[in-house]
Amino acid sequence: MMNREVRHLLVLVVVPLAFGAGVWALLRFTPRIRLENQSADPTTTATIHSADPNLWARSMERVKEDRGETGNVALEIPPELRHYEDRHWFLATQVAEVKKFNVQSVQDFVDLATMIQRGEMVSVPAVTDTYILFGVGAKADNARFTRWVDDHNIELYDDAELRDAYARLESARANLQKGISDLQNQLATLKKGNRAKALQKEIAAQQQELKSNDEDKALLDQSYGSPESRQKLLSDYASLQTLARNFGGRSFSLDNSNDRQTFRVNLLSSLRPQALKLLEEVAKSYHDEFDRPLPVSSLVRPEQYQHVLRRFNRAAVLIDTPPHSTGLAFDIDYRYMNGAEQNFLMNELARLKDAGRIEVLRERSANYHVFVFLDGARPNDDLITASLQEAGAPENEPTPAGNEPGKKTPAKKTSAKSTGSDTYRVHEAEGPACNSPDRQVAVRVIKKHLRPEGPTSYEIHAGPSDLADNFRPRIHDLTVVAISLRPFGPHNRLSPFPVRVLLPPAEPHRQHHLSCSGYR
């Protein structure tokens, strides 16, 4: 009898404790899980055409895994992947291809959906044996779909939603007018003082809100006011809904915010067939060599999405015909690749450029930008020259000889350089990876700048391309004014890179140490 009471008492104690522990664990770890899911790559929501359910996770692991010391060799960037002497020539070449074939650019997601329906764009699987979409659609949001007209958005509705939109605007206007009237009546009864000032500020804020509300209504009237434009926008929305109900074997509701975001990611996972074919060719070469999937970070980008992306990525150009809006461009992410992988891939891309099949550039944002020529032939120089202004070049700018596509621009040779009465000597050296325990990089070549005021400063060039942002360490007592170290490889390490620097002849063998502290 006593044992039964003890057992009963233990049950009464243990069960509530177990329940409480379960509740605590749920509250403690659910936010962490939610946060991890939110920070996951958005392409995980794109369509995965694979019989292997673990292919996505396995491919992601292969892309990101630490290479260790394997393939830790110096980068050798071919001239084909560098900028031309006139940097506008790179964009002008892509604009010329658009002119050559009268390629239609994608304005917004409605345009993109229509082109997919017509077969002009094809969906790209989120993962295959040879490549993985790695960041495609990362900035896609869950807002309502809109048309992109004259650099502004026009919201899309069906008939019932349009009526609701007008009703909301009218209701908001009436409420704001009443609120402003009430505040003005209160203000009339007050003398000057803090309370009166506070009311004046509140009235001004509501008047500004009323003005914004009226502007929204005016835009709605402008967009849906005429029978023709109203019918066109209603038809656009109906077509988008039809595609969303059956897209890649999935159904998306445009009334659901999560579905809208996922649908956007799937739409952005598209290319023209010619570009997809070349992507698959490059991916197979890379996969055959290293047994890793090629990480593809960007595909088609409507001009509307390009404007959104520009806020986060300065490489997202805003010319009249951005290359990615054509569906002929894609980006390859090299941030986790070691030196051997990058060298192999760059040589492969250089070969394709020499064959006239692509335009390509190694960008500072850890991407290779690849633009595919539709017929496998580069546009002629005359057409490229005629496209320079559309690519942002000044008028009547002469075309440098180094822009000729058949002529490789050689890397800069070591030589002496004269600057007034000062002579500087150019040295070539190899810089080690920035992953040693003391996190120091030995740098040999420094360019000395003599200024009339302030301390003498030195400029360091440690890498092949543009200068890094927000990186201003100090070398002993000398301030570094610019540096081009960029992150490569896992854990924000720096892979080996060629270092070209300028050093006063009086100090040809002096070594300084560049601290990695402050690197981000």
Q: Kindly tell me if the per-residue pLDDT of 233 is higher than 60.
A: yes
Do the bridges between strand 294-298 and strand 329-333 make them parallel or antiparallel, or are there none, so unpaired? antiparallel
Q: Is 366 exposed, middle or buried (0-12, 13-18, 19+ CB in 10 A)?
A: middle
Question: Residues 304, 437: one domain?
Answer: no
Based on the structure, what is the number of domains in the chain? 3
Residue 44 makes CB contacts below 8 A (sequence gap 6+) with 56, 126
Q: In sequence order, which residues have a C-beta less than 8 Å from that of residue 450 and are 6 or more positions away?
A: 422, 456
Given this model, what pLDDT does residue 261 score? 96
What pLDDT score does 404 carry?
56
Query: Is pLDDT larger for residue 463 or for residue 15?
Result: 15
Average pLDDT, integer, range 391-400: 70
Q: Binning pLDDT at 50, 70 and 90, where does residue 66 land?
A: very high
Confidence of residue 490 (pLDDT cuts 50, 70, 90): very low
Q: What is the domain extent for residue 178?
A: 147-250
Residue 501 lies in a domain: yes
| 242 occurs within a structural domain | yes
Q: Is residue 244 part of a domain?
A: yes
**Is 50 part of a structural domain of the chain?**
no
User: What pLDDT sits at residue 294?
Assistant: 98
Does a structural domain hold residue 44? Answer: no
Say yes or no: 343 and 456 in one domain.
no
In a domain, 199, yes or no: yes
Residue with tokens 């325990």: 437
Asked whether residue 424 carries a pLDDT value surpassing 50, the answer given is: no
Q: What is the chain's mean pLDDT, rounded?
A: 75
Same domain flag for 285 and 393: yes
State whether 185 and 270 are in the same domain: no
| Range of weakest confidence among 187-191, 205-209, 458-462 | 458-462
Q: Which of 99-103, 196-200, 418-422 has the lowest mean pLDDT?
A: 418-422
* pLDDT > 90 in the chain, percent: 55
pLDDT score of 460:
41
Do residues 270 and 397 share a domain? Answer: yes
Domain boundary among 188, 221, 250: 250
Other residues' Cβ atoms within 10 Å of the Cβ of residue 26: 9
Same domain, 156 and 98: no
Q: Are residues 270 and 399 in the same domain?
A: yes
State whether 118 and 240 are in the same domain: no
**Domain end (from 216, 250, 284):** 250
Q: Average pLDDT in the 65-82 region? A: 91
DSSP for 10-66? HHHHHHHHHHHHHHHHHHHHHHHHHHHHHHS-GGGGS----S-TTHHHHHHHHHHS-
Q: Give the pTM.
A: 0.67
**Residues 288 and 346 placed together within one structural domain of the fold:** yes
At residue 399 the predicted structure's pLDDT band, cuts being 50, 70 and 90, is: low
Please report the pLDDT score of residue 362 as a whole number: 97
| 308 compared with 264, residue with greater pLDDT | 264
Are 498 and 397 members of one domain? no
- 35 within domain boundaries: no
Q: What is the mean pLDDT of residues 290-297?
A: 97
**Domain boundary residue, one of 370, 403, 436:** 403
365 and 337 part of one domain: yes
> How many residues does this entry show for the chain?
520
pLDDT at position 78 over 90: yes
Residue 506's pLDDT band (cuts 50, 70, 90) = very low
Does position 423 have pLDDT exceeding 60, yes or no?
A: no
Q: Examine residue 108 and state whether it is found in any structural domain, yes or no.
A: yes
Model confidence pLDDT, tens digit, residues 99-127: 999 999 999 999 999 999 999 999 999 99
In this prediction, residue 420 has a pLDDT band, given cuts at 50, 70 and 90, of very low
Q: Are residues 331 and 214 in the same domain?
A: no
Q: If 0-12 CB within 10 Å is exposed, 13-18 middle and 19+ buried, where does residue 229 land? A: middle
pLDDT band with cut points at 50, 70 and 90 for residue 49:
low
